[in-house]
Structure 1
Amino acid sequence: MTLLEVKNLEVTYPGGVAAVRGVDLSLTAGQKVGVAGESGCGKSTLALALLRLLPPGTRVTGEILLNGEDVLTMRWGRVRAVRWAGASIVFQGAMHSLNPVHRIGDQIAEPVLLHQGATAAQARKRTGELLEQAGLPASRATAYPHELSGGQRQRVMIAMALACAPQLIIADEPTTALDVMIQAQILNLLERLVTDQDLGLIMISHDLAVLADICDRLVVMYAGRIIEEGPAQEVYENALHPYAKALSASFSHIGDPTSRFAPRGLPGDPPDPSELPSGCAFHPRCGEAVDVCLTEDQVLRGAGRGRRAACVHVPVPAVSTGTATEGTQEPATPAPDTRSAP
């Protein structure tokens, strides 16, 4: 059963800044989908759009179907309920999300009291259960945020996100600024909760290695669009789009001396959403761009085994014929580079 289905989502900020452009995304219960890309590629805007958390004046079109119900057409009272019982978000930077003058137990209990009609005693009991689920003792409910470490505060955020038993968790860079040991603990916690409670998880990060480790599928965004998607390990280890390749190559691979002594990166920055280049938005930074990339935007095309990529160089699986073995494909010939030599 499809838990979340996003269809042709467009998000435009005041002033005509197109932050998300025609995104399609689907998620089933128990599935973990990673969304990757550099800062400014539209990842967090996508996350905020899913629960209508964008600032006033933002234009949003398309469909966001949560259990078949369009979030974009819901009444505000229904949206408030869905934000806790249907889906919830774990934001990056827990210290900015927690109220510093309230004990963490009171902050976790608040949605339980408001949205589930629990008594004070029931809310306290539920708070203790949630803290223990998140790997903290129930006694920490009396602590203030500043009395906890960064990893403990992130666990509080996860406990709060689970307060009203949502079906979907959206984690926006939940391990930012945490050391690698604590990061691993938080990621393992999220993975375990998704498995044990059959939740859907959308995990947002710039780190493909992290996403490939815990997610089933991986989506790579650039300039507000999905430019590649497929099984997480396949996209990480054998990316098809030049941007996804560069993003994967920017992380050192353990045991690979080439990546250790000659790390690769990507020159330049993502384009300003208000001044996108013509054609494929990635072509100014792409070493494989050809003439058509400068004039024609590329759309996602099937690349076999549940993979899609938006690049003119991506091979298109051949249709099986009577003389070919079923499931084989002809190698595609890349478009010729007809640009004049410098």
Structure 2
Amino acid sequence: MNASTVIGPAAAGEPTGTDVLRLEDLHVSYRTAGGAVPAVRGVSLALPAGGRLGLAGESGCGKSTLASAVLRLLPRSAEVGGRILLEGEDVREMGWGRLRAVRWARASIVFQGAMHSLNPVRRVGDQIAEPILLHEKVGRAEADRRVARLLDQVGLVAARAGAYPHELSGGQRQRVVIAMALACSPRLIVADEPTTALDVMIQAQILRLIGELVAEHGISLLMISHDLAVLAENCDRLAVMYAGRIAEEGPADQVFAAARHPYGRALAGAFPRIGDPASRHGPRGLPGDPPDPAHLPAGCAFAPRCPIAADACREAEPPLIAAGEQRLAACIRMDAWQEAK
């Protein structure tokens, strides 16, 4: 078995025919003065129509690189291998005209920092209207009516269309970015840490809003976060990334409650749970830092931080293997958890 995995209904590696997004053996590395640095290493993933997939991991594990690769938003220093299929069409083979037509209309992305996504010298209504005018060839009056409806959908009054980004709060700006993502009724939304920069109360509102809009419009969602609890609450399935690879995947509630990979367990244990005194008084942390992508250790990349690593873990990189019904984990020691308790 190779190092890649397929996530969702195509977990056995067979296409379902209804996948909105499918990655096949995706590799991404960055050219540097010291040579190529791998960021994503052999990830395969399938997201069906209307599905909600969460992708978790620490900073530097390759989540945002993967998200940017979906719509070819990577810098020129990136080298990409494998296939990125959007409704069966390979994004890597699209010409620039075709790619421009696909962005916003078939797939859109919500980044974590709304101020980095919005033009500070243009009114937000004009920015929401731009993809509508570009892709749907409607008149300005119709575009303005669409903007008003979109603002209402995300909980803002139509008058806010005349505001500049700096005149809005952080939560309001993120709502504007979500309205932009919905403007052309895409089949897929990639939400890359959409609430990281917001306070807890506003974060909950934005997550609820995204969930409601995705369900209402039947949109597929790829949500990226370092917080397993957020993903478990808002996604059907969950994949955990470490050092550019998928370490574990399966039903979101199962991965969060009982991860089979030691890294997934460490991520879940880092967040205290309401009503659980043990986790509140003694949250489990994770010693050390993720490895430098330019100098990955031999064998399992997680072995230097793993509490149950054995000599065999340092000899070869473990493949993804069955870890329960519709579950996979890249760990040859997953059964040792019972012994370690």
TM-score, normalisation: structure 1: 0.91
Is 1:81 paired with 2:101? yes
Distance 1:295 1:304 in 2: 25
From 310, 320, 324, the counterpart of 2:330: 310
Name the % identity.
64
**Structure ID, larger Rg:** 1
- Structure 2 residue aligned with 1:224: 244
Instruction: List per-residue Cα deviations over 1:201-224 (Å, max 9, x = no partner).
Output: 000000000000010000000000
**Deviation of 1:261 (Å):** 1.2
The amino acid of 1:47's aligned partner reads A
Q: 1:123-162 alignment to 2 at 5 Å?
A: 123-162=143-182
Q: Which runs of 4+ in 1 moved over 2 A?
A: none
**Greater alpha carbon shift after TM alignment, 175-184 vs 281-290:** 175-184
Is 1:121 paired with 2:141? yes
Secondary structure of the residue that 2:75 maps to in structure 1?
coil
Is 1:291 paired with 2:311? yes
The amino acid of 2:114's aligned partner reads A
**Deviation of 1:177 (Å):** 2.1
Instruction: List per-residue Cα deviations over 1:237-276 (Å, max 9, x = no partner).
Output: 0000000000000000111111111121001111111111
Distance 1:193 1:43 in 2: 23
The amino acid of 1:206's aligned partner reads H
**Deviation of 1:304 (Å):** 2.1
- Structure 1 residue aligned with 2:22: 5
What number of residue pairs does the alignment pair up?
319
Structure 1 portions without partners, runs of 5+: 316-332, 338-342
Asked if structure 1 preserves the Cα contact closer than 8 Å seen for 2:56 and 2:63, the reply is: yes
Secondary structure of the residue that 1:10 maps to in structure 2?
strand
Q: 1:33-48 alignment to 2 at 5 Å?
A: 33-48=53-68
Secondary structure of the residue that 1:312 maps to in structure 2?
coil
**Deviation of 1:139 (Å):** 1.3
Secondary structure of the residue that 1:240 maps to in structure 2?
coil
The amino acid of 2:20's aligned partner reads L
**Deviation of 1:107 (Å):** 0.6
- Structure 1 residue aligned with 2:213: 193
Distance 2:104 2:113 in 1: 19
Q: 1:142-291 alignment to 2 at 5 Å?
A: 142-291=162-311
Secondary structure of the residue that 1:85 maps to in structure 2?
coil
The amino acid of 2:54's aligned partner reads G
Distance 1:303 1:262 in 2: 27
Distance 1:194 1:120 in 2: 26
Instruction: List per-residue Cα deviations over 1:63-94 (Å, max 9, x = no partner).
Output: 11111101111111111111111100000110
The amino acid of 1:193's aligned partner reads L
Distance 1:154 1:299 in 2: 38
Secondary structure of the residue that 2:104 maps to in structure 1?
helix
Distance 2:178 2:161 in 1: 14
Instruction: List per-residue Cα deviations over 1:102-147 (Å, max 9, x = no partner).
Output: 1100111111111211211111111111111111111110011111
**Greater alpha carbon shift after TM alignment, 165-174 vs 124-133:** 124-133
The amino acid of 2:28's aligned partner reads V
Asked if structure 1 preserves the Cα contact closer than 8 Å seen for 2:84 and 2:91, the reply is: yes
**Deviation of 1:2 (Å):** 1.2
Structure 2 portions without partners, runs of 5+: 1-17
Secondary structure of the residue that 1:135 maps to in structure 2?
coil
TM-score, normalisation: structure 2: 0.91
Distance 2:55 2:197 in 1: 19
The amino acid of 2:166's aligned partner reads H
Instruction: List per-residue Cα deviations over 1:166-218 (Å, max 9, x = no partner).
Output: 00000000001211111111111111111111100000000000000010000
- Structure 1 residue aligned with 2:5: none
- Structure 1 residue aligned with 2:12: none
Asked if structure 1 preserves the Cα contact closer than 8 Å seen for 2:104 and 2:186, the reply is: yes
Distance 1:18 1:153 in 2: 33
Asked if structure 1 preserves the Cα contact closer than 8 Å seen for 2:309 and 2:333, the reply is: no
**Greater alpha carbon shift after TM alignment, 217-226 vs 105-114:** 105-114
**Deviation of 1:314 (Å):** 3.1
**Greater alpha carbon shift after TM alignment, 42-51 vs 107-116:** 107-116
- Structure 2 residue aligned with 1:49: 69
The amino acid of 1:101's aligned partner reads V
Instruction: List per-residue Cα deviations over 1:50-69 (Å, max 9, x = no partner).
Output: 11000013110101111110
